[in-house]
Structure 1
Amino acid sequence: MDALKKFLNKKKTDVKFKSAGPGQKLTGEPESSKAKGATPPGHGHRAGGSSQHDQPRKAPSGPSEEKRQAAAAALARLEKQRKPESNEKDMRAARQLAFIKEQARREIEAEMRLKEAGQPSSSSVEQRGSEVDIGSSVSERVVDPALFAVEGVFFTCPLIGPEVASKAEIQEMINQFLRDQPEEELAITSCLMIHSCNKPREKVNTCVDILCKYLDNIINNPDNPKVRKIRFANKAYQERVAVVEGSAEFLRAAGFEKTRVNNDDTGEEEDIWYFGATSENMEAALALLAELRDTLKQTTPIRPEIDRNVQVLMPAEVKNKKELPPDFYQLTAEEIKREQQTKTELLERELTLRTKAQREKDELREQRMYRYCVMRIRFPDGFTLQGTFWAHEKLSDLHDFVQQNLLAEDLKFTLKMPRGEALQPSDATLSENRLPPASILNFHVENPPPGIASGEISYLKPEILALVKSME
């Protein structure tokens, strides 16, 4: 498990290092010796200029330790000021591109559904005008995208970089990232591939159990030649292991090799996996099998993380942008199956009397049909902070989200429902508090700092308030 943590930490460090931009040499010429009006470090390349290299200068003597520390601090401040704006701009462009792709995909799927059902396409509907009831042929209500509270639900993954895209696109990036890892890290990446690149979960668990059984058989009976062979034609292997991406890489990492042998029953050649450790290295090979088995059992999948899609809205936008995109209501096949089961149970419950606790439990179950939740936090100065969450996220996650965007990050505050009920940070989920698919809470502070109370400064960070301009 330690090896898995080291692998993930190393990859996250690589991503941060690549996204940090060009390095700065502190032993070079000091900033004060540059020509007046030159751009600060980290900005010159963005404007396309190279004025600091146009004129040759005489290298000064090495700076003192105090100057080096001051230069490092200045660079850190400049980078901190520059980075949020750049990242936010790139991320917003990525979200808009992902929204356009998703909108086009939905339109194509709608056209295909109409053709399969024998209904006229959208183009013919437009031509016939009021003669056709659009609502009767298309189940989705047509809403102006300008009225959406969010353009869609977007995801990211810190392990692969700052990209923001749809869930399917990020998942494919994760899959490709794991496939591209070097051979020497095959033991770790194969475990991650099995858990991250396959669905449903029952299929993965079955494969993990069988692979662990293969390894346990060798660990417990290393001298038995039968347990060293896995036949490709074996039904259990074909239906439960071979169909899982990453299983072949896992067997190779464990020391199995693909080879062809004669089948004693049929006399024909067949493919098998063969564990070929010799008596000289058997002890080390068995130790590797035990470690690999434990790693496979303890590995957790790499999943796309929901992008908060942070926005700051003015009162007029809060009033107008109330609609939610179809992503908030789309159900997977498993969710549709559960919904059908819920309806069956509802019919049965209607025939019996229920207590108040049972009715509340039923209401919570209905909340589970929502996967996402748009949360809006209304501040006393008129701004509204908005973010996108999983419906199963905790109130403490919502509290942390607000705290991270405050100018004074140590400010004590309370989030209150419109009717005045306070929501304290806890492990209770948004669904359990009946907040999905969208809710608005009021930001309350008992004793605001003088500058905020007088209106001179806002509650939110300047880089967050800058998002208001792009929303107007």
Structure 2
Amino acid sequence: MVPAERIATADIAAQAAYKRMNLGATQESLTQRNIRMRALKEMEKEKKEREGCANDKMDVEIRTHVIDEREFEHSAAVSGVYFTCDLLGDDLQLTKNEMRKKVEIFLRTQLADDPLVASTLMIFSLNGPDKRQNASETIQKYLKNLIESPDESKYHRIRINNKIFQERVSCANGGKEFLMACGFEEKDLINNDQQEPFLVIPDNKAMDTYSLIQALEILQTGQAVPLKLSRNAAVYKLEANQVITNPQLPRDFFDLDFAEIKREQQRREVDVEKFATLRTREMREKDELMRSYRYNYTLIRIRFPNRFLLQGTFGCHEPFSAVHNFVEEHLAPIEPMLFVLKDPVSGKVISDDTKTLNELNLLPAAVLHFEWDFDIQVELMKLGREVHYLDQRFIETAEPFAVI
């Protein structure tokens, strides 16, 4: 069913549910009718947005991230989520897809020097979890067969067009390269009176059990090249009494997989009944808080008393101590460096550094207020020293906080 038809069906269902609910009831008041019509209009608008978003996602290839594109009003606070990689140096900051491409290029250049390690890193770094696991398990089986039965000729060759090989090894980055690093060579052989491509390992390499065991151990202990989330730090200068507007976050901040998209669509069908109970947007927003959207990242902003704003990107499962350390790295050199970060709404100090940002509900964006420890402030005042916050080098590069 196309999105327009689904929306129309949902609208009809909502109205029918509303009629069922009101059988025998007195005629609705003008206010009730206005609320109902507003709810139905909001439902139609939101259904269109959700359906369009979901359809776009379903067209994305499985190997790419599937995302729930929800935006916040006002300023475009950050252009994307960026990463660094120790292999390429911390100075290079790219999006995850761009960084993966750079890592692939780098690893392919290393195939000539250390093919086993390079191809193992390719398998674990350039494939999704399922593809990575399938390739690793299948290649391990090939190697174990050779190690246990080096004289068995059927284990000396792998038909490239074999369905299992195609679906589990050939499709994975680094899979074929790893086998060739073990000694397999691509050759055309006669199979069922037809010439077909095979991967063939020479007898002498098939008998080199020691090398095959080493290769197996390298694969079994393989890990992905770690990508480090870049804080993408920014410092802004606020005008007097300027309100910090909610950021418009890029798609990278949100992530829904296919199963979650399906559940979300089912939830929206259930919402049809809720809309029919005259629920306003405010009422429905409370329901939204109960839904288990998955957030990948969060944008944390720290507001200082002297109208400066420090901004950074964090993973939602990082501990709050990561935010504390990030702030500390940008502060003026004051000893001891004791400070607190407060929730501006409740006024409470966030004191548990071990809790994740997700557990603290600091997502997908949050503003915290900075305060020096009270005793430090008193001591500075006694000494007649000006209270500084951010290091001067960050203040000098601060940009005005713009509102679009």
What's 1:245 paired with? 173
- Is 1:273 the counterpart of 2:199? The answer is yes
Which residue of structure 1 lines up, in the alignment, with residue 222 of structure 2?
A: 299
CA distance 1:151–1:184, change in 2 (3 Å): closer
Cα distance, 1:383–1:166 mapped onto 2, change above 3 Å: same
- Cα distance, 1:425–1:346 mapped onto 2, change above 3 Å: farther
Shift of 1:219: 1.4
Match for residue 181 of structure 1 among 89, 95, 110 = 110
- Is 1:219 the equivalent of 2:147? yes
Do the aligned residues in 1 keep the contact of 2:238 with 2:400 (CA within 8 Å)? Answer: no
Deviations 1:120-169 (A, max 9, x none): xxxxxxxxxxxxxx997987899887x22323333333322322333322
- Cα deviation digits, residues 51-82 of structure 1 (max 9, x gap): xxxxxxxxxxxxxxxxxxxxxxxxxxxxxxxx
* Contact 1:367 1:431 (8 Å CA) reproduced: no
Aligned residues: 321
Q: Call closer, same or farther: CA 1:321–1:177 in 2, change over 3 Å.
A: farther
Indicate the residue corresponding to 2:367 in structure 1: 440
Deviations 1:336-384 (A, max 9, x none): 436538839988xx9xxxxxxxxxxx99874642222111122344322
Listed as ranges, the matches of 1:61-100 within 5 Å are: none
Query: C-alpha separation between the residues in 1 aligned to 2:226 and 2:288?
Result: 29
Q: Distance in 2 between matches of 1:151 and 1:318?
A: 22
Distance 1:245 1:331 in 2: 24
Of 397, 402, 408 in structure 1, the residue corresponding to residue 327 of structure 2 is 402
Identity level (%):
31
**1-structure distance, mates of 2:70, 2:301:** 24
Q: TM-score, normalised by structure 1?
A: 0.59
Give the aligned partner of residue 172 of structure 1. 101
What is the Cα-based RMSD across aligned positions, in Å? 3.8
The one-letter amino acid of 1:467's match is: T
Q: Given that residues 78 and 250 in structure 2 are in contact (C-alpha distance below 8 angstroms), is that contact kept between their aligned partners in structure 1?
A: no
Counterpart pick for 1:458 among 381, 388, 391: 388
Q: Compute the displacement of 1:254 (Å).
A: 1.2
- CA distance change for structure 1 residues 335 and 178 in 2, over 3 Å: closer, same or farther? farther
Structure 2 residue aligned with 1:236:
164
Rounded to whole Å, the distance in 1 between the matches of 2:211 and 2:188 is 25
Deviations 1:194-228 (A, max 9, x none): 111123x1121111110111111111222222222
Q: CA offsets, 1:396-415, max 9 Å, x none? A: 22222122222338613332
1:304 Cα deviation from its structure 2 partner: 4.0
CA distance in 2, matches of 1:303, 1:364: 33
The runs of 5 or more residues in structure 1 that have no matched partner are: 1-133, 351-361
* Matches of 2:289 and 2:397, distance apart in 1: 35
Query: What is the 5 A alignment of 1:322-471?
Result: 322-327=246-251, 330-334=254-258, 336-337=260-261, 339-340=263-264, 343=267, 366=291, 368-408=293-333, 411-418=337-344, 419-424=346-351, 426-444=353-371, 445-448=373-376, 450=379, 456=386, 458-469=388-399
Structure 2 residues without counterparts, runs of 5 or longer: 1-44, 54-68, 275-286
Aligned position for 2:233: 310
Letter in 2 for 1:463: R
Deviation for aligned residue 1:243: 0.8
Instruction: Give the alignment's TM-score, normalised by structure 2.
Output: 0.68
- Give the structure with the higher percent helix: 1
State the distance in 2 between where 1:160 and 1:254 align.
27
1:82-109 deviations in Å (ceiling 9; x for gaps)? xxxxxxxxxxxxxxxxxxxxxxxxxxxx
Deviation at 1:290, TM superposition (A): 2.1
Q: Which residue of 2 aligns with 1:55?
A: none
1:165 maps to a residue whose letter is: L
Partner SS, residue 310 of structure 2: strand
